[in-house]
Every structure is written in structure tokens, then in C-alpha cells.
Amino acid sequence: MASVGLFRLPPAGLTQRQAPVGSVAHPLPLIIDSDPGLDDALAIACAVVRPEIKLLAVTSVGGNADVHHCTENALRLLHLYGADDVPVAEGAVGPLVGPLERATEIHGESGMGSTQLPKASRRAEPEGAVALMARILESSPEPVAIAPIGPLTNIALLIRSFPHLAPKISHICLMGGSVGEGNSSASAEFNIYADPTAAEIVFSSGLPITMIGLDVTHHAILDRSILERFAQLPGRSAKAAAELLKFSFDRSAAWGQGEKMAIHDAVAVLHLAIPDLVGVSRYHVVVDATSGPARGRTIGDANPYRLKRDKREPNCDVGLTIDSDRFADEMVAIFAKLP
Ligand code: RIB
Ligand code: CA
């Protein structure tokens, strides 16, 4: 049986992807739901630049930082990237149930490290995140993919508030979870840990899902060598990204975790633009939404015997492998194209 590092591929190995992938001829319509956030900043850049994606909106959710910071960061990032035409709307402050979870120790109080991005010349849409997503889904001539890269609160609210719009969601390609170890706790990854109830609503919704979890994003690493590569790039975006990354490397070094950062969120977006970057396998995933020590765990099962025995069907693709060198090259190529 093939293995990747400490992780053993499931019996089925890697399987055919279910997620749609855009093309230059037919860009994939996409909404990003985000808690910008340092790695969110790079993910949004991917969606702005890649010709296989048509970014329709960025909605914010409280997570890495307070939601008002996340909204402002989304506006300023899109302004920096020359994408002021992409609407932004503010979503949930915190989880459906349970305490507010933040990751400001990683992303800084503002969510953007110590970087002051240039102010945007516009405000967020007054209707709010869930209403904006619903309006886009309602009016789109074709189903729209959603890339949640923060806690899933807004997505759960969308599913429960507008069930008739489910057929207009082509795919949910989320950054979150892990079939292996967590990060916020030994069991749970931050985006799921921050709102397990919302995550359980999403994973049990029947919608097509790809879970881009830590299993694959822990191989989407940038280290200090990227700073030199970004320094050669002409635009303000690359300089700002280098500042954001340097903040992460310094924090990571201060914690004795080496001078590197997993760019988790960008993998979820690039999976929708580059068909062979990430290898996936089918799993049945449920979320532990209890308040015990495994709170927020995504329990992934791909064992054919247990699935048959318990009459459970796989409900999502789980990202397991990535071409790590190509990932770093793609990030440089993306920021080379930004103003
Ligand atoms: O666990 C990683 C996730 O938590 C990423 O989305 C990061 O931005 C944080 O939100
Ligand atoms: Ca995020």
C-alpha cells in the first residue's frame, strides 16, 4: 500500500476528482468565503489571477481575526490586486454555537500581520455575506462553486436559509479539517474547530464537497527562500505578500517551528484551477460537534469494509497529495502577474 510520509493512502488509493476545474475558455464562477488572514491573502490572489477562475465575490467570516478586520482586509487585498470590481460582504462574527475562536496569535490582531495595506476606495455590500451569496447564486446563469477558507458559519447559514439554491452550488471546495492530526488541537483543524456545528451542517448537506485539509496543506509550504523570489517581482502586491510571509516566518521561528508557513487556503483555490496539482480520495467524513476533547474533529473513513457494514457512502473528496515544488512556483507566477 502506497504511503505519503507518516500518512498511509486509503485502500482505494487516489481516486478521480469530483471537483470541477475551470478553463481559460470557460472560467469557473467562484465565491470565496474567507477570514483574511495571511494565507487567505495568497488564496484570494490565486483567484484574482488564474484565468480558469471567475471570482464573483469575497465574503468575510470571523476566524483568524474579528470579522470587521476580515472584511476590511478583503477590501484592501482586492484593491491591492486591482480587483475592486469584486464585491465584498460581511458575514458571521462567530460560530453558530460555542465560543469565539481566533487565530490572532498567528495572523496578528488585524489579521494582516504588521502590514498596513493601502485603504480601499469602497465599502462592503450592505446586504451582508449570506444575502450576497444567495443573490449571486439566484442570478447566475450557471451553478457557482464556493471556496470556504475560514470557519463554515456563513455556508451553513446559506444552506439552511436558502435550501432551494443548493442546485446552484456546483461544488464546495473548502480548506479545513484533517483525516490525520489537527492544528488547533491534536484532533481538530482551526476552521472546523471554530464552528463544528456549521461544519456538520455542511458535511451532511449532500452537496458535493472537496475537503482540502491539513493532510495536503501541510505539504504546501513556503519558506524564507520565497522572499528572495518575491523581491525580484515588480508589483506592490508581491512586496506586501513578502511582508505578510516574513511576519509568518518570524512567528513560526519564535515558536521553534522552523521558518516556514503552510499556505493552506491557496490549495483550495488552486485545486479548482489546476487539475493535477492535488491528489484526492473518497472518504465518508463526519464532524464531532460535541464539546469533548475531539471537538471539531473531521472523522474520515475510507475503509470499504466499514462503509459497507455501516451502510455509509463517501460524501467528499479529501486532498492527500500535492506537488509541493510546483505549488511554490505557482505562487511566484501568480504574484508576478499582480500590480
Ligand atoms: O487551519 C488553517 C486554516 O485556519 C486556514 O484557513 C487559516 O487561514 C486559518 O483560517
Ligand atoms: Ca483562512
Catalytic residue among 107, 219, 264, 284: 264
Please indicate whether residue 63, judged by its CB atom, sits closer than 6 Å to ligand 1: yes
Mean pLDDT of 124-138: 98
| Mean residue pLDDT across the chain | 96
Q: 6 pLDDT band (50/70/90 cuts)?
A: low
Residue 187 · residue 297 · CB < 8 Å: yes
Please indicate whether residue 282, judged by its CB atom, sits closer than 6 Å to ligand 1: no
Cα(46) to ligand 1 centroid in Å equals 16
pLDDT per residue as tens digits for the range 153-204: 999 999 999 999 999 999 999 999 999 999 999 999 999 999 999 999 999 9
Mean pLDDT of 14-24: 97
Percent of the chain with pLDDT over 90: 93
Cα 221 from Cα 233, distance rounded (Å)? 20
Alpha helices in 183-223 (DSSP H): 190-193, 196-203, 214-217
Please indicate whether residue 296, judged by its CB atom, sits closer than 6 Å to ligand 1: no
Cα 219 from Cα 216, distance rounded (Å)? 6
Cα 95 from Cα 61, distance rounded (Å)? 9
Cα 303 from Cα 284, distance rounded (Å)? 9
Q: Which domains does the chain have, with CATH numbers?
A: 28-336 (3.90.245.10)
264 is catalytic: yes
Please indicate whether residue 40, judged by its CB atom, sits closer than 6 Å to ligand 1: yes
Q: Look up the pTM and report it.
A: 0.97
pLDDT of 30 strictly over 80: yes
pLDDT per residue as tens digits for the range 298-322: 999 999 999 999 999 999 999 999 9
Atom of ligand 1 nearest to the CA of 183: 1
Q: Using most ligand atoms within 8 A of CB, pick from 73, 219, 265, 298 the residue to mutate for ligand 1.
A: 265
Cα(34) to ligand 1 centroid in Å equals 9
Cα 262 from Cα 260, distance rounded (Å)? 7
Atom of ligand 1 nearest to the CA of 38: 8
Cell numbers given for 194: 471554530
pLDDT per residue as tens digits for the range 37-56: 999 999 999 999 999 999 99
Q: 257 pLDDT band (50/70/90 cuts)?
A: confident
